[in-house]
């Protein structure tokens, strides 16, 4: 990613040049996106883990153009998010700084920095409900006086204080900077375009220094940061009082989640519940109803009975529309009957996990293991999101600290993490072949994951970064947010999957009609029949898998339904399709996020590893 975002903003700002730029700024996970929703009416992701927002969204509110930024702990350039946020902040006219009232000693560091930059700031002191719950008391007037900017207490999720924030945006003002900073800024001002940049130059921000061609080293970062830290501590000491010890159950649960002795059983139990819900209830009971009865029988008979008479004599067209891979038969049956319930179920669970604040605790718990793969605990977030959609997860690898970590995580995501739709099909199929095969499947994938990570960690140059994260409080997920998140993700899935499924269906029918499919099946028969010991028809599923992995998994599903695969063959084909290439959407994102050499390596590497592992398994089992 380039470091200069002012020139390639992903949207057209010129058409809104008359608007005042209002930028939402705050630490990760403080409720910025809730404010953004409230102001603009646009839903963007809201989760209880740092780093939910990685792209800048923007919307219109009255005379303002509002920007949602990724959460940052300070204005600087330690990672891509910070660089992106920094440039939006620099271009902003008014900063709406959202502060988590429970974590002021952390959040006010950013607030003070914004004030030191000379920005017009208004503070929304959010999470006031948690303040009460934790037995804290905050002197808001005193806080406002010390910072020198308006402070409005809010509970964003309950819409408390939002109107007041809206009404008072125009009262935002420049506050009280730390002492002595104004004088220092004067020295740099002639070299840059505004006081905000001047401050960043003093704080040794390499991008801003390079942009303004500044030769002199000021080396003041440590000194300024220290002074700011002391000022913030002083403010917090003066305005916050602990009146009673708050919620002890959450504290105890939080501790239990972190201690391996209790944390690992809790993690296993959570995964077990997820499996029961997704793998047993949704994948079997619900899908059995939606796929076989509603879509597979009623819908299929209905659509065929309408179109068959109309298409008499148009053999080719009939195949396209209502044939084995028909646009009106296979596509809706797969998408609506098979994948949709799984995707909804998965995102429902994932949203609960995200909102509870459990994910950062899992990150801490698994940090030790992930460091052996050249990652740190933070990487568990893209990995878990990868089970939802590898495409989106690849984007969140940005939150990892170094280039090598991002490559390792992207490779592992593309290779060994099945996405929700695919996972659902796989779980459904493995449940029919018995628990021991399921365990072999899981073990194989986990082994591939570990071996690949370990090897990459050995051969890639450089060093990975260490874990340094803050752990948000546990929260009871809000049902409304869970539902809206599940809804938006599901719509996104339908939008992304449907066109590709249609294209895939047309392609496969075309190849089938002109006997290309059989041709390919025969050409790669040595691989499928010989090496993998599978019927040559699975080649069709693999071709489908290049388009989307869940499409490929669905193809296997129907082969298994037709009784073409025995248990061991189901296992081998599932392993291959799981490890197979990332879907087209994911590979496009990978190409965008990584350079083409790395992307090509990931693509071909996945194919190679998938067949190799499949071959080894089939050699042992079949």
Q: Which residues bind Mg ion (CB under 5 A)?
A: 33, 52-53
- As a whole number of angstroms, the distance between CA 594 and CA 588 comes to 10
Torsion, Cα of 88, 93, 94, 100 (10° steps): 20
Instruction: Give 76 or 569: the residue with its C-beta nearer to another protein.
Output: 76
Tokens of 241: 């009082």
Instruction: For residue 138, report the phi and psi dihedrals to the nearest 5 degrees.
Output: -125, 130
* CA dist list (Å): 278 to 333, 423, 492, 560: 19, 9, 20, 20
- Contact status: 462 vs another protein (CB under 8 A): no
- Identify which range of 6-14, 31-39, 224-232, 554-562 contacts ligand GTP by CB under 6 A: 31-39
62-81 residues near another protein, rule: CB under 8 A: 73-74, 76, 78
Distance of closest approach, residue 387 Cβ to another protein, in angstroms = 23
Residue selected from 22, 33, 76, 136 as contacting ligand GTP according to rule CB under 6 A = 33
- As a whole number of angstroms, the distance between CA 490 and CA 528 comes to 34
Identify any residues that bridge with 20 across adjacent strands, giving them in sequence order.
64
Instruction: Give 254 or 432: the residue with its C-beta nearer to another protein.
Output: 254
- As a whole number of angstroms, the distance between CA 334 and CA 10 comes to 34
Asked if 289 and 340 count as a contact pair (C-beta separation under 8 A), the reply is: no
- Identify which range of 252-260, 268-276, 433-441, 506-514 contacts another protein by CB under 8 A: 252-260
- Contact status: 466 vs another protein (CB under 8 A): yes
Residue among 286, 274, 280 nearest 349 (CA): 274
User: Which of ligand GTP, Mg ion, another protein, none does 478 bind, CB closer than 5 to 8 A by kind?
Assistant: ligand GTP
Site string for another protein, 332-361 (x = CB under 8 A): ----------------------------x-
Residue selected from 82, 87, 107, 130 as contacting ligand GTP according to rule CB under 6 A = 130
Residue selected from 22, 25, 28, 610 as contacting ligand GTP according to rule CB under 6 A = 28
Q: Write the DSSP string, 318-355.
A: HHHHHSTT-TTTHHHIIIIIIIHHHHHHHHHHHHHHHH
- Identify which range of 28-36, 203-211, 426-434, 585-593 contacts ligand GTP by CB under 6 A: 28-36
Rg (CA), the chain: 27
Q: Write the DSSP string, 249-309.
A: HHHHHHHHHHSHHHHHHHHHHHHHHHHIIIIIIIIIIIHIIIIIIIIIIIIHHHHHHHHHH
Residue selected from 21, 40, 52, 504 as contacting ligand GTP according to rule CB under 6 A = 52
473-492 residues near another protein, rule: CB under 8 A: 473
Torsion, Cα of 78, 82, 87, 91 (10° steps): -130
Residue selected from 196, 364, 481, 573 as contacting ligand GTP according to rule CB under 6 A = 481
Instruction: Give 33 or 391: the residue with its C-beta nearer to Mg ion.
Output: 33
- As a whole number of angstroms, the distance between CA 70 and CA 55 comes to 7
- Identify which range of 22-30, 279-287, 406-414, 460-468 contacts ligand GTP by CB under 6 A: 22-30
Is 399 in a helix, a strand, or coil?
helix
- As a whole number of angstroms, the distance between CA 51 and CA 49 comes to 6
Residue selected from 90, 110, 239, 330 as contacting another protein according to rule CB under 8 A = 110
Interface contacts to ligand GTP, rule CB under 6 A? 26, 28-34, 46-48, 50-53, 70-71, 126-127, 129-130, 155-157, 355, 475, 478, 481
Applying CB under 8 A, the residues found at the interface with another protein are 73-74, 76, 78, 102-103, 105-106, 109-110, 134, 136, 221-222, 225-226, 229, 233, 236, 254-255, 258-260, 360, 363-365, 367-368, 371, 376-377, 466-471, 473
């Amino acid at each position: 990613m380039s470091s200069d975002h002012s020139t390639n903003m992903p949207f057209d700002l010129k058409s809104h040049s008359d608007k005042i730029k209002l930028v939402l700024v705050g630490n990760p996970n403080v409720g910025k996106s809730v404010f953004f929703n409230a102001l603009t009416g646009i839903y963007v992701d809201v989760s209880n883990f740092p780093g939910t927002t990685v792209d800048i969204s923007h919307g219109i509110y009255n005379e303002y153009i509002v920007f949602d930024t990724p959460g940052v702990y300070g204005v600087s350039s330690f990672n891509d998010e910070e660089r992106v946020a920094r440039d939006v902040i620099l271009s902003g006219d008014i900063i709406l700084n959202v502060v988590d009232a429970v974590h002021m000693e952390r959040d006010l560091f950013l607030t003070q920095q914004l004030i030191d930059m000379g920005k017009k700031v208004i503070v929304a002191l959010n999470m006031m409900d948690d303040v009460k719950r934790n037995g804290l008391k905050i002197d808001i007037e005193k806080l406002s006086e010390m910072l020198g900017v308006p402070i409005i207490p809010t509970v964003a999720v309950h819409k408390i204080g939002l109107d007041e924030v809206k009404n008072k945006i125009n009262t935002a003002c420049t506050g009280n900077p730390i002492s002595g900073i104004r004088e220092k800024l004067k020295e740099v001002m002639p070299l840059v375009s505004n006081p905000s940049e001047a401050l960043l130059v003093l704080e040794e921000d390499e991008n801003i220094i390079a942009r303004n061609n500044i030769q002199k080293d000021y080396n003041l970062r440590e000194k300024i940061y220290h002074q700011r830290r002391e000022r913030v501590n002083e403010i917090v000491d003066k305005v916050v009082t602990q009146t009673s010890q708050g919620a002890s159950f959450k504290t105890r649960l939080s501790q239990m989640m972190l201690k391996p002795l209790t944390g690992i059983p809790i993690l296993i139990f959570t995964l077990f519940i997820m499996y029961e819900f997704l793998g047993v209830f949704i994948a079997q009971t619900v899908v059995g109803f939606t796929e076989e009865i509603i879509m597979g029988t009623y819908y299929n008979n209905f659509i065929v009975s309408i179109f068959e008479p109309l298409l008499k004599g148009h053999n080719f067209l009939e195949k396209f529309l209502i044939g084995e891979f028909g646009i009106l038969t296979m596509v809706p049956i797969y998408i609506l009957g098979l994948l949709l319930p799984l995707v909804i179920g998965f995102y429902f669970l994932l949203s609960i996990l995200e909102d509870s604040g459990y994910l950062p605790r899992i990150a801490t718990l698994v940090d030790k293991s992930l460091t052996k793969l050249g990652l740190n605990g933070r990487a568990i977030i893209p990995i878990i999101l990868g089970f939802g959609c590898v495409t989106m997860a690849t984007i969140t690898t940005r939150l990892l600290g170094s280039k090598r970590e991002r490559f390792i995580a992207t490779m592992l995501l593309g290779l060994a993490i099945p996405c929700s739709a695919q996972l659902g099909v796989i779980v459904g199929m493995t449940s029919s072949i018995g628990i021991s095969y399921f365990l072999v499947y899981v073990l194989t994938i986990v082994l591939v994951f570990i071996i690949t990570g370990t090897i990459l960690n050995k051969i890639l140059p450089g060093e990975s970064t260490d874990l340094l994260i803050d752990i948000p409080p546990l929260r009871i997920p809000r049902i409304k947010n869970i539902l809206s998140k599940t809804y938006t993700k599901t719509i996104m899935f339908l939008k992304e999957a449907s066109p590709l499924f249609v294209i895939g269906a047309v392609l496969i029918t075309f190849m089938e009609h002109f006997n290309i499919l059989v041709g390919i099946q025969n050409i790669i028969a040595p691989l499928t029949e010989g090496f993998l010991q599978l019927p040559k028809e699975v080649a069709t599923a693999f071709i489908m898998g290049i388009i989307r992995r869940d499409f490929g998994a669905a193809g296997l599903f129907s082969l298994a339904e037709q009784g073409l695969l025995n248990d061991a063959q189901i296992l081998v084909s599932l392993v291959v399709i799981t490890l197979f290439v990332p879907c087209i959407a994911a590979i496009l994102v990978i190409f965008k996020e990584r350079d083409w050499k790395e992307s090509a390596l990931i693509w071909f590497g996945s194919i190679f590893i998938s067949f190799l592992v499949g071959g080894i398994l089939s050699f042992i089992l079949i």
